[in-house]
Amino acid sequence: MEKTINYLVYDIETLANCFIVCFLNIQTNQQKSYVIHKDKNEGVNLYQFMCNMKEYRWVSFNGLNFDSQIMHMIYEKRGVITAEEIYQKAQTIINLPDDKKYESLIPEWKLPYQEIDLYAISHFGNKARRCSLKHLQYAMQFPNIQEMPIHHSTKININQLDEILEYCWNDVYSTYEFYKYVRGYVEHKEYKGIDKIEFREIIKKEAGFNCLNWDDVKIGDNLNKKKYCEATRIDKRDIRNIKTTKRDVIYFKDCIPDFIRFETPQLQSFLERLKHKSVRSTKEFKETIIFDNTKYTFTQGGLHSKDKARKLESDNNIHYVDADVGLNWLN
């Protein structure tokens, strides 16, 4: 019999002289919060709670890059820590440049519990898709979109704790709301019935990947590599050395199949022009064409259209569909 997996949603707040963490047990709806402040230090109790909840999945929003790093520090110190130490650690993490984060942060496998980072699963770490919890609150039509009432650099007194706790709980419940989207527990047609967390649990079990926080593209890429290695008997460590064929020059005519044809003279002429092009690096390539009053740009990243901002709504005659081709491999 498989062991039941339980989940906690959590969020933290780090101020100059105060630390707060709030937990929501999804199974029991029980709430727990802990404060580390000179007038109320519950650090040791928090450490005991962490020890008791190691078997749970801890659900966060961008937790791998921030929240879990702070919680790991508290765990390592067994809760014997000051709010000032936590704040200093938080500022160090916040000020890390993107290219230094991977080598500077505690890796997922070293955490005392299993993190489920909805931010990572949703590929929000990609610069083109980056999204804050506040933007999600707006998109989900969450009833209370709340900004931090006190700046994090402020030193607060014990009487201001309730204000910060209220804000933290609001973030916990909005994270829980997004958790329901990720699990397919909502009526929204784009999410209903698609459980991305259960899917990752299955892939982890069947493929042996520690993929609970991988985005869809990374899972697809690694599954393809695994199947390729099994079929060719090539060691996965050697894949990187063979996946790129180095050339001094790339002739487009060698890359475009002969059967490619266009019906319109304009596009066919554009195709012929491409066949006569060559580049030494794909970064050099950029071509534009105006077709049907829309400007299209072809670059290394693919095909992009430049459209005027507008609002489109389906009616009895036209039905608009948003098709994400990045998820085709799932089908």
**Amino acid at the residue 54:** K
Residue whose pair of structure tokens reads 């009487």 in the numeric block? 159
Note whether 128 and 159 are same-domain residues: yes
Is 324 among the domain residues? Answer: no
Q: Which range, of 45-49, 127-131, 274-278, averages the lowest pLDDT?
A: 127-131
pLDDT at 329: 39
Cα–Cα distance for residue pair 77/19, rounded to 1 Å: 15
Note whether 170 and 196 are same-domain residues: yes
Note whether 111 and 201 are same-domain residues: yes
Is the confidence at residue 331, as pLDDT, over 50? Answer: no
What does pTM read for this prediction? 0.77
Q: Which of 243, 261, 294 delimits the end of a domain? A: 243
Number of domains in the chain: 3
pLDDT in tens, 138-195: 989 999 999 999 999 999 999 999 999 999 999 999 999 999 999 999 998 888 899 9
Domain that holds residue 48: 7-213
CATH of the domain at 105: 3.30.420
Is the confidence at residue 137, as pLDDT, over 60? Answer: yes
Is 220 among the domain residues? Answer: yes
